[in-house]
Structure 1
Amino acid sequence: MNLSLTKKLSKVALLLSFTFVIIPSLNAEQRPLEVTDIMKFKQIVKPQLSEDGQWLAYSAQPDRGENSYHLKSTSSDREFQVEHGTSGVISADGRFAAITISPTLLAKEQADKKAKKKLKNSLEVITLASGARVTFNKVEAFQLSDNFGYVAFLSEMPKDQEKPEQTDSTKESDAKQTSDEETEVKLFNKKRTNKSLTIVNLESGEQQVIEHVDGFSFSNKTPYLVYSVSTKDGANNSLKALNVKTNKTNVLATKANASFNGFSWNNEGNKIAFLQGDFTQEKDERSHTVKLWQSNKNKIKTIKANDKQAANWYVPETNKLTWSLDDERLFFGFKPVVEKLAEIDTKPESIDDLYNIEKLTEGRNLQIWHGEDPLIKTNEKYQLGKDKKSFFTAVYHVDNNKLVRLADEQLISVKASNNENAVIAKTDLNYRKLRTWEGFFSDIYIVDLNNGKKSLVAKKLSSYTDVKLSESGRYAAFYENENVWVYDRNKNKKRNITKNLPVSFADEDHDYPSKVPGYGIAGWLEDDDGVLVYDKFDIWLLQTDGDDAKCLTCEIGRPNSLQFRINKLDVKQDYFTDNQRLLLTSYSDELKNFGFYQLNLADDKLTKLIEENKKFKFISKAKKADKLLYTREDFNEYPDVWVADLDLANANKLTNVNPQKDEFLWGQSELVEWRSNMGVKHQGILIKPANYVEGMQYPVVVYYYRRFSQRMYEFNAMKVNHRPNFPFYTSNGYAVFLPDVHFEVGTPGHSTNKSILPGLQKIIDMGVADPKAIGLHGHSWSGYQTLHAITETDMFAAAVSGAPVSNMTSAYSGIRLGTGLARQFQYEQGQSRIGASMFERRDLYIENSPVFFADRINTPLLMQFGDIDDAVPWQQGIEMYMAMRRLEKNVILLQYEGEPHHLKKYPNKVDYTIKMKQYFDHYLKGAPAAKWMVEGEAYRESK
């Protein structure tokens, strides 16, 4: 304890001398950040361009406070702002914008649970040409028509309309219903809608209201609005189509107690697919069918399965109806018919029933964990939840009225595709047991769309492997065993197409004890003319025979440590053309800056468009105009949105959402290099404090995980959360250090200090860091690293560790509560990097567990855990706390009740942010210890 007291006294002296120098250097026009300042910084959410490129729309959302929605002209100063706007859309014709307005934060937080349910959103529609605005209150869902100047929205019907008053005669009549009728009405009323649909002509202002509507959808290219009606008694449930131009309504279907949902228009907007079911079939989903309505013929077609399919499969209500881009195919899902076990009534009806073994045991609460189970029970439960929402994909060929099943109980995962001939499918059923200790694997197939024939591409690929199908559906390109392969389903053969190339297509920085992943496949050229793939730096054009390979960026990429990646300008484009101009993002692995380049596939010409000491990020391209959206940022520049032409000419900054940034002291980042204890080159980011004085030593907060040097030109996320906010610290007299960590398999704990301690010595030698005032912070994996680091060194004046593993031997056979997965795979193959089971290398599990070496810790430690942590069992924090407490070490554990791995409740996030800063202020700057640090806090009942 004398050592701790000495440190405290030295920090008091440091604070006095430190304050004397810093205060006179403050810029009078700028001030340090406070926690409440962080709350008010805004984030741009979902920026989008109108299809004609004339308008930018986005939501500006503070960490805490009121949102606003913005519409900004890309070619003039015109701008609209909607207070409390959270999201919005612009019509395809660019004439209207519709914005959702939420209740105020104050109203939400003042309301109790009952009152919160009554808070409703509003809707504001703006006519962009005139600026006219109209607002609609209590809106629950809306849609803006793309080309016809209408908006439709659902709202709750008034109570007097929802429940009309009953006369004595109707009450008497109702009372005479049979029990079967009562049951049917009860089931129906559970789902009966009490919503009305309001349709508004935005040019004339005319409105019409339709009652008891439970779903609706505008066609994107024709003037039709389809909606479903659920009447109170269910007798006149119907599906209708309104032509908003002629105001004529077609009744598409009418059936008692019918339900209609899952609306999906084709791309031409002249056909809509939907599900028709029955509200009374509450426990049996097999009432649903998929139907198509064709507007120009006003006909409905039912998609029927053949007798065998219909006997064993049904269409579930939880489904997704997806059209191919050419409108020739419709994808949706089936589920197998599973006979439900009869339920036994466990309630005894007689004395004999008290001794009825069958009834007694039927009421048991039991889960049997068998050693041969494919999944452990917790993960099986999680998987069951996913399976309830999933289905087995089938495809309906519209022109020839043909239905083909693509997935089944063995081949479980097939996603809709625009490929005319085939789809990629996968199944992990053979490898589910391996989730426990090795990871996620799948067998990959090509499935023919015309006949459902399956062709095996590869076995036991990582489930995250990128597999791309060629345009003809004949070839599939994928990464396996450190190379790129092409499978030819016509010949049922696969070929390694990178084995003779002079570079690696495997991750050159992989430091896990698992199979090395690749860098990904950009996509195929049209007509199967080749496939574009990535190595660490460059883009290659490879042919299916593997004999002709061309590097498209090698003259600039690898020689300059410059990484190129393709930005997809058209999200619906599945294949590149051989004369296409591609927009590339560049990233310097050495300098950490970004840029944009253009690659012309016609002549392989690579042109630099822009490259600066900034981070550039592509957002999107206007659908019908040559306009790009992107962001530009660095540590001092927020990533506001810019618009430019395709070659980045005429670039214009459109947003400025945080003008208050100039009010605050901030800091400046720079790249630092050093050699680790093993002689390996390392990099990191040193963020010097605001008003840095050359030659003066500063307290330092170290924050790390794995590789952070790529954040050199990133604006720090201005949020209050489990991380130290960098500008918050640098504006308050700290330096912040973000060092890279290079791990060694088998000794991940030791790797931390081997990497970061020489980096700290570097910034000490630079004259920036005060060697007696360095704090260490980590969360989750780096929380573990923090615990391990302080068992090996006394270099840190204080450490903060959030949600750390402290004991690998107990965590090894634990469970991740969020997914129900066993943790063994993480230690053997994943992030913990041991590379062996605990039974093979028991010594490594002990050696890498900080709890066994808690007696060596002299650094004050603050730990934070949520006690329903779904990733790291919070008992790991208890183990470390109990060990240090028994050893009479300086330790405090913050237990946030009802919180997961990352704090979610705002009061808790604010509290932890303040406590973290108080902790570092005390041990690094000598500030007086906060009361909770000295006295703790008595147990309090949860509110």
Structure 2
Amino acid sequence: MKINNKRLVQVESFLSRITFLFFVLVTCPLLGQVKQKKMLQESDYHLWHTLQSENISENGNWISYKLVYPNGKDTLFVRNTKLDIQYVFPNSFNGSFNMEESFACITPIAGLQILNLKTGKSHTYAGITQYKYTKNKKYIITYSKAGDPSLEIKKSSGLTIMKIDNVREYKIAPQENAVMFTDGRCIGFITLTDKLEKTIIVEKSENPFFNLTWQSNGNAVAFLQKKDDLGENNLFFFSLKNNKLFEFDSEKFLNPKDDFTINPTVTTKLTISDDGQHVFFGIKKRDYNYSVIDSTQVQIWNASDKLLYSQREEIGQWDKVAKLGVWFPYENKFKQITSNQLPKVILAGNQKFAITFNPWQYETQYKQQGDIDLSLINLTSGDSSLILTKHSGNKNHTIISPEGNFITYFKGQNWWVYDISKKIHINCSANISQPLFDQNYNSAGEIPAYGILGWTKNDSSLLIYDQFDIWEVSPEGNSAKRLTHGREKNIQFRIAKQQYENFRTENYNGFYALEIDLDHALILQAKNNEKSGYYIWNKTDAEKPLVFNEMKNSYLMKSSKGERYVFQQQNYQNAPSIWFKKNKKSKAELIVQSNRQQKDYYWGKTEKIHYSNKNGTSLNGALFYPANYNPSNKYPLIVSIYELKSHELYQYVNPTLYSDTGFNVTNYTAQDYFVLCPDIIYEIGNPGISALDCVVSATQSVIDKGFIQKDKIGLIGHSFGGYETNFIITQTNLFAAAVSGAGVADLTSWYLTMGWNTGTPEIWRFENQQWRMGKSLFEDKQAYNRNSPLEFVQNIQTPLLSWTGKQDRQVHWYQSIEFYLALRRLQKEHILLVYPQEKHVVMNPKDQEDLSNHIKQWFDYYLQNKSLPSWVSYK
């Protein structure tokens, strides 16, 4: 068959035109539906919220989370991890699951709300302000402050089965199976096991009870009773096992001439020993028994005094500080543990021993925590022995083993144990081949340890961190085994905070170590310079990744039954989201995405930059690109400085005017700015010069990329970053404008300044901390001068905006005044903002907004050629 090619071409042409027309008609409406992105404006900031993970149910079928808004209208959500089911609780808090059955929370107006997770129905119980499910989940303990305060015991369904009126104080047992209560005149407890039972300890009393305390295993309680209006209190101990009440005999045990009263404080709180044989509590002299500093009399500041006059005035003298005592109710004995000579204490040996020390023993000294001598007291016999001299005052360097058999301490760059029973010191880390002190420590003074994870069961072995890994060592020091393989992988492993509620248990002026069961899997937090996440460790397989990627992974939660996991992910481009894994090997599923409105706006991106300081050390920085970046344009740059800041690359930043330092990265990237957050490392003796070196190198590396306006670069810093800003602009004209918040101006005057928030001189910060001088002013005055902004203030050509809080007791506002007066005398471009009611950071929302606007207008004028703000006009 013959084909007419001309006719075929005509048909094909016609069909092409019809197809094109059809395509246009069909797609035009779709094209019209494509939403054009917007530039972010201040009027949009209120749309952003903060995502907070809350809880996961027992089997992991439900999670709760909260969205927190700047206007305070927060919302609590409950979401199913399998199905698309979600419940909303506006303005609610304190949410918790009762297995997979129900969810409860508090709403300030409505009271307690209980949601039945199976039916989706909820019920509200008005007036309830506090609640707690019992361990067995059969009951709910609720408390109402409305009218006469009342304590109610409800079934998990919400039905009230017991009510006690006029309850002034209550305390739930650690096992969550009982609650102690008092209405002031009566005190008792309710057991909440299979059988609900109320027991009255004291039925009627003329004086009220308070300070209710449980033994750790729930077998005993202790409490106080107000004796009179002069501060006298009675102390009681009650054994639930023996159903026996003991009363402390104050007249017998507290010497009348000392005039001590029972007066537990935060540092001498009422506690019961684990074995129930000892009761610890504070005793304190009456106020009229010690000399009170008369503020109208002349102050005598003696240079040979151990403590400055201001320290005695601010912190107080040991004579007026509560002392810790121990009562043996079954033996009817009492001992005072601490004294004016040894006023601090850590308990050991199952609370049968006490370590006492004086933190001011070696005054005058210039460390944040002074060296100490440790004395060990046998609380039964009263025998005392000195076990350590000139030991580190760092609390993290002395930790008691969970069973109390060993005192663990870091000394000479090794971990040691003191065996209490054998009275010997052992270097338990002698067989660890890697350094145990911080290899990247970049401050002056004592180099800290990486730390310990804890002890295994029965104090069998100690778990120690090096830079990357976890080691298991015997207390005898004859074995050391590396449990993880982080060094080979360049990954640092640490125990995940979410696995244990408390890393360490508070122990008066120290800590008990965490007890770790290596027969169960451990969840480890993992990170390196590029990635973060979680690994699962067990004895058989060592560590295996749960999630590990180039995101910030955090807030991991694991179901108490099974292996279901929930965690958050974010980086600067991606708002925080919640991900779910039904087991450790399954693929993660996105179940909650915050700030979905971000997709409607142009948003900046990030890049990790690399540069070197003058010594050739490789450093990193986080570079934030402008939203809707156009590579054919050139942009202004703001450099935000402090110390190490490259980690901000992985932090999502909500736009807001309510920042406590007045600067927000997203506010600026949304308005055509690049922002650079460089890392700074320091040479001891040269904090300012080191900052100059690193910041200029980092800034130049960004300039070299070719998209920055070289004459439109700003610099900003707060606190130590404020000092760095002040110094850097005395050494270079690279920056067209600068902002310094609460910054130091003169190293000499600041070295010789009092830290009025502590009553101690700032000298320690220079010689042994952040200022990194390493020597006193009088040993190396040239170093102080060459790093002091005031020494070079005449060189400044950069317009400077400074701000300070008039109530700042950390960096006194006079430092800003010194710099202001110098710049004023030299007729430099400078404005100082003083906030009369603010401290080191700005907390009042009105002032936060004001500071944010001033800083933005300052940079806009100098870096984007916008109109001169009226407040900048020189009069």
Q: Tell me how far apart the structure 2 counterparts of residues 647 and 414 of structure 1 sit (CA, whole Å).
A: 43
CA positional deviation for 1:229 = 1.9
Match of 1:479 among 389, 395, 410: 410
Residues 69, 87 of structure 1: 8 Å contact kept: no
Report the counterpart of residue 142 of structure 2 in structure 1.
152
SS of the residue 1:638 aligns to: coil
Q: Tell me how far apart the structure 2 counterparts of residues 786 and 222 of structure 1 sit (CA, whole Å).
A: 53
Q: Tell me how far apart the structure 1 counterparts of residues 551 and 588 of structure 2 sit (CA, whole Å).
A: 15
Match of 1:513 among 434, 444, 466: 444
CA positional deviation for 1:497 = 4.4
Q: Is 1:469–2:400 an aligned residue pair?
A: yes
Report the counterpart of residue 288 of structure 1 in structure 2.
234
Report the counterpart of residue 126 of structure 1 in structure 2.
115
Report the counterpart of residue 370 of structure 1 in structure 2.
302
Where does 1:160-239 land on structure 2 (aligned, <5 Å)?
195-197=149-151, 203=157, 205-206=159-160, 211-218=165-172, 225-230=179-184, 237-239=185-187
Q: Tell me how far apart the structure 2 counterparts of residues 580 and 547 of structure 1 sit (CA, whole Å).
A: 25
Q: Tell me how far apart the structure 1 counterparts of residues 333 and 97 of structure 2 sit (CA, whole Å).
A: 37
Where does 1:590-629 land on structure 2 (aligned, <5 Å)?
592-600=530-538, 602-603=539-540, 605-629=542-566
Q: Is 1:638–2:575 an aligned residue pair?
A: yes
Report the counterpart of residue 721 of structure 2 in structure 1.
782
Q: Is 1:864–2:795 an aligned residue pair?
A: no
SS of the residue 1:787 aligns to: helix
* Residue identity in the other structure for 1:587: K
Report the counterpart of residue 608 of structure 2 in structure 1.
671
* Residue identity in the other structure for 1:533: I
CA positional deviation for 1:879 = 0.8
Residues 261, 274 of structure 1: 8 Å contact kept: no
SS of the residue 2:856 aligns to: helix
Q: Tell me how far apart the structure 1 counterparts of residues 575 and 409 of structure 2 sit (CA, whole Å).
A: 38
Residues 478, 521 of structure 1: 8 Å contact kept: no
SS of the residue 1:716 aligns to: coil
Cα deviation digits, residues 98-148 of structure 1 (max 9, x gap): 433347xxxxxxxxxxxxxxxxx8443434444443445555555555533
Unaligned runs of 5+ in 1: 1-26, 104-120, 158-193, 231-236, 345-360, 937-943
Cα deviation digits, residues 746-775 of structure 1 (max 9, x gap): 111111111111111111111232211111
Match of 1:762 among 685, 694, 701: 701
Q: Tell me how far apart the structure 1 counterparts of residues 591 and 383 of structure 2 sit (CA, whole Å).
A: 51
Q: Tell me how far apart the structure 2 counterparts of residues 813 and 542 of structure 1 sit (CA, whole Å).
A: 45
Cα deviation digits, residues 613-653 of structure 1 (max 9, x gap): 11222544444554444322211223333344563636444
* Residue identity in the other structure for 1:854: V
* Residue identity in the other structure for 2:69: P
Q: Is 1:586–2:586 an aligned residue pair?
A: no
CA positional deviation for 1:529 = 3.8
CA positional deviation for 1:679 = 1.9
Report the counterpart of residue 315 of structure 1 in structure 2.
262
Report the counterpart of residue 221 of structure 2 in structure 1.
273
Q: Tell me how far apart the structure 1 counterparts of residues 283 and 632 of structure 2 sit (CA, whole Å).
A: 70
Match of 1:100 among 91, 96, 106: 106
Cα deviation digits, residues 806-848 of structure 1 (max 9, x gap): 1112111212232223211112221111222222222222222
Report the counterpart of residue 493 of structure 1 in structure 2.
424
Report the counterpart of residue 825 of structure 1 in structure 2.
764
Residues 405, 452 of structure 1: 8 Å contact kept: no
* Residue identity in the other structure for 2:113: E
Cα deviation digits, residues 363-414 of structure 1 (max 9, x gap): 945554333444334333443499989662648699x898776655555444
Q: Cα gap change, 1:88/1:825 in structure 2, threshold over 3 Å: closer, same or farther?
A: same
Q: Is 1:427–2:357 an aligned residue pair?
A: yes
CA positional deviation for 1:550 = 2.8
Report the counterpart of residue 543 of structure 1 in structure 2.
474
Q: Tell me how far apart the structure 1 counterparts of residues 489 and 130 of structure 2 sit (CA, whole Å).
A: 52
Cα deviation digits, residues 228-257 of structure 1 (max 9, x gap): 224xxxxxx222446789897554314443
Where does 1:728-747 land on structure 2 (aligned, <5 Å)?
728-747=667-686
CA positional deviation for 1:492 = 3.4
Report the counterpart of residue 19 of structure 2 in structure 1.
none
Q: Tell me how far apart the structure 2 counterparts of residues 793 and 462 of structure 1 sit (CA, whole Å).
A: 41
* Residue identity in the other structure for 2:95: G
Q: Tell me how far apart the structure 2 counterparts of residues 422 and 639 of structure 1 sit (CA, whole Å).
A: 48
Match of 1:753 among 672, 676, 692: 692
Q: Tell me how far apart the structure 1 counterparts of residues 476 and 594 of structure 2 sit (CA, whole Å).
A: 52
Q: Tell me how far apart the structure 2 counterparts of residues 387 and 711 of structure 1 sit (CA, whole Å).
A: 47
* Residue identity in the other structure for 2:536: Q
SS of the residue 2:700 aligns to: helix
Report the counterpart of residue 170 of structure 1 in structure 2.
none
Residues 632, 642 of structure 1: 8 Å contact kept: yes
Q: Tell me how far apart the structure 2 counterparts of residues 513 and 143 of structure 1 sit (CA, whole Å).
A: 47
Match of 2:201 among 252, 275, 287: 252
Q: Tell me how far apart the structure 1 counterparts of residues 864 and 319 of structure 2 sit (CA, whole Å).
A: 54
Q: Cα gap change, 1:648/1:389 in structure 2, threshold over 3 Å: closer, same or farther?
A: farther
CA positional deviation for 1:520 = 0.8
Report the counterpart of residue 878 of structure 1 in structure 2.
817
* Residue identity in the other structure for 2:613: S
Cα deviation digits, residues 330-383 of structure 1 (max 9, x gap): 764222445834999xxxxxxxxxxxxxxxx98945554333444334333443
* Residue identity in the other structure for 2:85: R
Q: How many residues align?
A: 822
Residues 467, 521 of structure 1: 8 Å contact kept: no
Q: Cα gap change, 1:443/1:31 in structure 2, threshold over 3 Å: closer, same or farther?
A: farther
SS of the residue 1:831 aligns to: coil
* Residue identity in the other structure for 2:186: S
Cα deviation digits, residues 718-764 of structure 1 (max 9, x gap): 55211521122112211111111111111111111111111111111
Between 1:504-513 and 1:756-765, the stretch displaced more is 504-513
Residues 305, 403 of structure 1: 8 Å contact kept: no
Residues 662, 848 of structure 2: 8 Å contact kept: no
Q: Cα gap change, 1:637/1:683 in structure 2, threshold over 3 Å: closer, same or farther?
A: same
TM, length-normalised to structure 2: 0.84
SS of the residue 2:592 aligns to: coil
Residues 439, 829 of structure 1: 8 Å contact kept: no
Q: Cα gap change, 1:795/1:342 in structure 2, threshold over 3 Å: closer, same or farther?
A: closer
Q: Tell me how far apart the structure 1 counterparts of residues 290 and 690 of structure 2 sit (CA, whole Å).
A: 58
Between 1:527-536 and 1:450-459, the stretch displaced more is 450-459
CA positional deviation for 1:909 = 0.5
Report the counterpart of residue 635 of structure 2 in structure 1.
698
Report the counterpart of residue 86 of structure 2 in structure 1.
79
CA positional deviation for 1:885 = 1.1
Residues 475, 486 of structure 1: 8 Å contact kept: yes
Q: Tell me how far apart the structure 1 counterparts of residues 291 and 783 of structure 2 sit (CA, whole Å).
A: 51
Q: Tell me how far apart the structure 2 counterparts of residues 266 and 622 of structure 1 sit (CA, whole Å).
A: 28
CA positional deviation for 1:906 = 0.3
Report the counterpart of residue 7 of structure 2 in structure 1.
none
TM, length-normalised to structure 1: 0.78
Residues 215, 276 of structure 2: 8 Å contact kept: no
Match of 2:623 among 663, 671, 686: 686
Match of 2:752 among 797, 807, 813: 813
Q: Tell me how far apart the structure 2 counterparts of residues 127 and 389 of structure 1 sit (CA, whole Å).
A: 51
SS of the residue 1:462 aligns to: coil
Q: Tell me how far apart the structure 2 counterparts of residues 484 and 297 of structure 1 sit (CA, whole Å).
A: 43
Unaligned runs of 5+ in 2: 1-33, 504-513
Between the aligned residues of both structures, percent identity stands at: 25
Q: Tell me how far apart the structure 1 counterparts of residues 200 and 353 of structure 2 sit (CA, whole Å).
A: 37
* Residue identity in the other structure for 1:62: Y
Report the counterpart of residue 28 of structure 2 in structure 1.
none
* Residue identity in the other structure for 2:187: L
SS of the residue 1:291 aligns to: strand
Residues 439, 825 of structure 1: 8 Å contact kept: no
CA positional deviation for 1:891 = 0.4
SS of the residue 1:782 aligns to: helix
Q: Cα gap change, 1:696/1:85 in structure 2, threshold over 3 Å: closer, same or farther?
A: same
SS of the residue 2:315 aligns to: helix
SS of the residue 1:791 aligns to: helix
Report the counterpart of residue 566 of structure 1 in structure 2.
495
Cα deviation digits, residues 460-517 of structure 1 (max 9, x gap): 2132333343455333333223233333334433344445654322221222221211
